[in-house]
Chains A and B, each alone.
Chain A
Amino acid sequence: MRVLVIEDDAGLRAQLVENLKDAGNVVDAAADGDEGVYFGREFEYDAAVVDLGLPKRDGISVIKALRGLGRSLPILILTARAHWQDKVVGLEAGADDYLTKPFHMEELRARLNALMRRAAGHASPVITVGAFALDTARKEARVGDAAVELTAFEYRVLEYLVINAARVVSKTELTDHLYEQDFDRDSNVIEVFIGRLRRKLDPDGDLNPIRTVRGQGYRFSPEESG
C-alpha cells in the first residue's frame, strides 16, 4: 500500500515513516502542507496521515485541497490539541478518522489498515474470496484451512490484489503502490512474484486465483470451488 505522511515534526515523521514501512507500506513523507498537497496531486495513494497543525498550509486546508482534487483516499488526522472542535472540523472537511497525540504506533497502523480496507469495500479485517482468506490484521493468507507461507513482499502483492479484487490491477499500478519511487521499475519482477504467488496459493493449478487479463493486468478471481 502507498501511504502519504504529512507531519512537520521531524522526529515523529521519521518514526511514522519507519513504522509504516516496517508494516509493508510504501511511504512518502511531506514536512508541510504545500508539499503534502503537491504529493497528493502528483501521485496516487491508498491512504494519508495528516497532522492538523502544519506550517504553510494547515491540515484542514490540505484535506480540502486533496478532496478538491477528487482524491477519495482515506485520510487519518493527527491532532495534538484534543479539542473536539478540531476533530469535527477535520471530519467535516473530509477526513475519515482522527488520532490524538500522543498515540501508540500499533493504534495508528490498525486504524490505517481498517481505513484502507473499508475504502476498498471490506468491513472485516479478514477478507474471504472463494477458498482464500486474507487476514489483513495478522498479515496471513490461508487456502481452506491451510496457512500459506509468504514473504513480506509476496504478501503485499497478494493483499493489494485481494483488496482490489473487484477490478483489474495493472502492472504499473502494482509497481506504483508497492515500490519506492527510486526502485528499479522492472515489470518483469512483478511477473516473477505473480508466478511465485500462483504456485504457493494454487499448487495443483485448479483454482487459478490470479488471472491475467490480456493487455490490462491481473485480477484476483478464483474459480468457485464446490
Chain B
Amino acid sequence: MAQTSRIGLRARLLLTSTLVLGLGLGLTGWVLDRSFTAGVVAGAQEQLKLLIYSLLGAAEEDGTSLRFPASLLDPRLEQPESGLYASVSDAHGTVIWQSRSLQFGNVASQQLAKTPSNLKLVPGSFEFRETDGYFEMFYRVIWEANGDQLFTFHAVAEQTPFRSAIASFRRTLLLGMAAVVVALMGAQVLAVAWGLRPVGVMAARVRAVEAGHRERMGDDYPPELSGLARNIDRFIEHEISSRDRYRTAMDDLAHSLKTPLAVFRNALSSGHAEDEKLLRDQLDRMETTVAHQLSRAMAARPVVLAGWTAPAPLTERLIKALRTAYIAKDVTAEHHIPADLVLRCDERDLMEMLGNLLENAFKYCRSKVVIGAEGGSTVRLTIDDDGPGVPEHQRVQVLARGARGDTVESGHGIGLAVVAELASSYRGGLTIGESPLGGARVTLELPGNTS
C-alpha cells in the first residue's frame, strides 16, 4: 500500500485512461478491419457466383459437349491477363472451354484452367477457395438434356484489387484512429487538470494557512471535498479556541497563585506564629487552584473526531470500583443503560466524566444510585441519588464553566466543573435538577448516533 500510494493522482488517472483508451481503440480497429475484410471476400464470392450463373445461362448444347458464345457479358473475360478468368471441364477433367483472358496468358494462368484433382464436389453445389493470390469458385452440374454429362464450372479472380482495397481501408482506419487517440488524450489531460484543480487549490490553501497568510479553508469546494475542508476548518477553529483557553487558563493560574504567594512572603517575613492558620488557608486555596486549573487544561483540548464508546460496560466497571471504595456505605447502585448504546466520546474522557458524577452520587446519596440513559442524536445519561440534592441557587454556580479556581469550592464543585468543561468540549452539556429519588439528578448530554 505504501508503495502504490506514492503514485500521484494525475498519473493514476492518466495511466488508467490511456490503458482503457489503448485497449478500446485497438479492439475497435481489429473488429472494423475483420468485418471489412470479410465483406470484401464475401463480395468476391458473390461476383464469382454471378459469373458462373451467367456462364450457365450462356452455355449451349453441342453434342456431348457445351459451347459458349464468342462474346460474353463481362468484357474482362475477353481480355488476356485481365484478372478475371473462367473455364469449364468435363467429367474426365478435360478443359472443354476457357475464357479468352486465359487463352493468351502465361503458364501459371494456363494451370488455372484445370480443375484441381482434390476437388470433391457434389453436383449442384458451389465451393470457394482462396489459393495463392486468387479467389476461386467451383460449381459442378449434371447436364440432363444430353445423357447426363457432368461439367465443372470454374471462375477465378485475382486477389490484388481486393487486397489493395483492404490496404487502403486500413490506412484510413489507422489515420482516423490516431486522430481519435490524440483528441481523446488531449481531452483526458484537460479533464484531469480540471477535475484535480480543487485539490490543488486546497493544498495551496493548507500551505497558506500553515504560513499564516490565510485563516480558513473557505467553502468553495465541490461536494466531494467540502466535508474535508469543513473538518480542516473545524480543526483550525479548535486549535485557535484551545490556544485561547490555554492562555486564559494560564492568566487565571498566574493570578490566583500569585496572590497567596504574596501573602506567604509577607507572613514569613513578619515571623508571627499565629499566622499558621492564615498560611494553611492560603495553601488550601493554592491547592484547589492547581487542581482545578490542571483539570481544566486537560479538558480544554480540542475534540474534533472522537471515537465511539459504549457507556454501559464503562458504567459497570465504575460501579464495581466505587462499591469497593465505598464498601463502608451500603449503596445500592444500578444502571439501565442499553448494552448497544454508543456515543461519540473518547473512552478516557467518558470515564472521567462518569467517574466524577458517580463518585459524587456515591458520596452524597443515602443508599441508592440509579443511572439511566436515553439514546438518539443526543445521548442523555442521568445519574440519580437519594441524597440531600443541590439547592437551586447553587446549581449554576457549581457548574460554572471557566470559573476561576479560587472562587470554586473544593470537593464536588471542582469535579462537576471539570465534567461540564469536558462535556462542552464534545458539544454536550451538564445540568443539575431534582431526582424522583429525592436527591440530585445530574444529566450528562453527549453527541450520539447521527444517522
Among listed A10-18, A42-50, A85-93, A173-181, interface-contacting one: A85-93
Minimum CB–CB distance for B352 against chain A, Å? 5
Tally A-B pairs: CB < 8 A: 41
Minimum CB–CB distance for A109 against chain B, Å? 15
Q: How many residues of A contact B (CB 8 A)?
A: 16
Q: Are B295 and A118 in contact (CB under 8 A)?
A: no
Chain A: which residue is nearest B329 at the CB level?
A123
A85 to B351, CA, bound (A): 7
A64 to B294, CA, bound (A): 30
Asked if B302 CB lies within 8 Å of chain A CBs, one says no
Q: Are A92 and B328 in contact (CB under 8 A)?
A: no
Q: Are A91 and B324 in contact (CB under 8 A)?
A: yes
Question: Which residues of A from 61 to 99 have beta carbons under 8 Å from B?
Answer: 82-85, 87-88, 91-92, 95-98
Name the one of A84, A92, A98, A102 contacting B352, with C-beta atoms under 8 angstroms: A84
Among listed B78-86, B313-321, B336-344, interface-contacting one: B313-321
Q: What mask results when residues 352 to 374 of chain B are scored 1 for a CB within 8 Å of chain A, else 0?
A: 10111000000000000000000
Asked if A114 CB lies within 8 Å of chain B CBs, one says yes
Chain A: which residue is nearest B418 at the CB level?
A82
Q: Are B295 and A92 in contact (CB under 8 A)?
A: no
Q: Are A118 and B328 in contact (CB under 8 A)?
A: yes
Q: Are A84 and B355 in contact (CB under 8 A)?
A: yes
Chain A: which residue is nearest B415 at the CB level?
A82
**Chain A residues positioned under 8 Å from B328 (CB to CB):** 114, 118, 123
Name the one of B321, B348, B351, B354 contacting A92, with C-beta atoms under 8 angstroms: B321
A95 to B318, CA, bound (A): 14
**Chain A residues positioned under 8 Å from B351 (CB to CB):** 84-85, 88
Q: Are B325 and A98 in contact (CB under 8 A)?
A: yes
Minimum CB–CB distance for B364 against chain A, Å? 17
Chain B: which residue is nearest A114 at the CB level?
B328
A100 to B298, CA, bound (A): 16
Known: A96-B325, A97-B325, A114-B328. A88 touches B355 (CB 8 A): yes
Of the A-B pairs whose beta carbons lie under 8 Å apart in the complex, a sample of 13, sorted by A's number, is A82-B291, A83-B348, A84-B351, A84-B355, A87-B321, A88-B317, A91-B325, A92-B320, A92-B321, A96-B325, A96-B327, A97-B324, A118-B327
Which residues of B are in contact with A by a Cβ distance under 8 Å? 287, 291, 294-295, 317-318, 320-321, 324-325, 327-328, 348, 351-352, 354-356
